[in-house]
Amino acid sequence: MNKSTTNLLDEMLSQVKLSKKTTAKEQKILENATFLFASKGYANTSTSEIAKASGVAEATIFRHYGTKENLLIAIVIPFLKEAIPALADDLFQTIDPENQPSFADFLRALIHNRLEFVQQNKEIFMVFIKEIVYREEIREQFIPFFLEQAAPRMYMVMDSFKARGQLKDLPNALLLRTIFTNILGYFLTQHIFHPHPDVDHTKQEVDILVGTIMHGIASS
């Protein structure tokens, strides 16, 4: 399955059903919340609906999770920790860095692939980004794990393109921060200000973004 077109909530529902790390009551809440989020959308699902489907009082959900955002995070974090290695493998197989003529082509393919992925999962993306920005415990829990999975793959790609003479001989960690900062900033502004992007406009924006990044990191 090409994970760039996967609805993560559908994937999460399968994992939640297999989980044995919660009480029976919590398990029921998580399963029903995931099902409703996947079928109706996160924004269109209320905690009262989740409580009714789970056979518990709405107060029980608030007691266990506090907010609907926390409930979603309780579903997302365990899933991502389980799924990120496979998602990363699928991504790099799909865009195949070795067959990209240049690092700019690799970046372009990476950005378009992740834009499609985020578009399929934009409700999760926006809630998750907000939680990472405002909650230190989420950052401490997720970011080191993400970097542990993503950095080695990206370092290998960057070393390959350095050997081809296409990238400056700068530390990979610095290159990665530069690339991710620019890409994440673009993703956030696009989904805040342009929630329904035009395909041709997006292509032009991505070309400008890649050109901006390459201006800073390309070998002279």
pLDDT computed for residue 96 by the predictor: 94
Q: What is the CATH number of the domain that holds 38?
A: 1.10.10.60
d(CA 77, CA 189): 24
35/101 same-domain check: no
112/16 same-domain check: no
Distances (CA, A) of 61 to 78, 129, 132: 18, 22, 22
62/122 same-domain check: no
111/220 same-domain check: yes
Paired with 218 in beta bridges are: 167
54/105 same-domain check: no
Find, among 86, 96, 67, 81, the residue nearest to 3 by Cα.
86
Domain count, the chain: 2
Helices (H), 96-198: 103-120, 122-134, 136-163, 172-193
Burial 105-137 (b: 16+ CB within 10 A, else e): ebbbbbbebbbebbbbbebbbbbbbebbeeeee
In a domain, 89, yes or no: no
Q: Which two tokens stand for residue 86?
A: 């496979």
Paired with 193 in beta bridges are: none
In a domain, 209, yes or no: yes
61/144 same-domain check: no
Per-residue pLDDT tens listing for the chain (220 residues): 444 446 787 888 877 877 766 788 888 899 999 999 888 888 899 999 999 999 999 999 999 999 999 999 888 888 888 888 888 888 999 999 999 999 999 999 999 999 888 888 888 888 888 888 888 888 888 888 888 888 999 999 999 999 999 999 999 999 999 999 999 899 888 877 776 767 788 899 999 999 999 999 998 7
Q: CA torsion, points 75, 78, 80, 82, in degrees to nearest 10?
A: -140
pTM above 0.85? Answer: no
In a domain, 210, yes or no: yes
- Contact yes or no for 107/48 (Cβ under 8 A): no
Find, among 136, 31, 121, the residue nearest to 80 by Cα.
121
In a domain, 62, yes or no: yes
Find, among 136, 143, 128, the residue nearest to 176 by Cα.
143
Paired with 167 in beta bridges are: 218
Q: What is the CATH number of the domain that holds 186?
A: 1.10.357
120/177 same-domain check: yes
Which residues constitute the domain of residue 62? 1-67
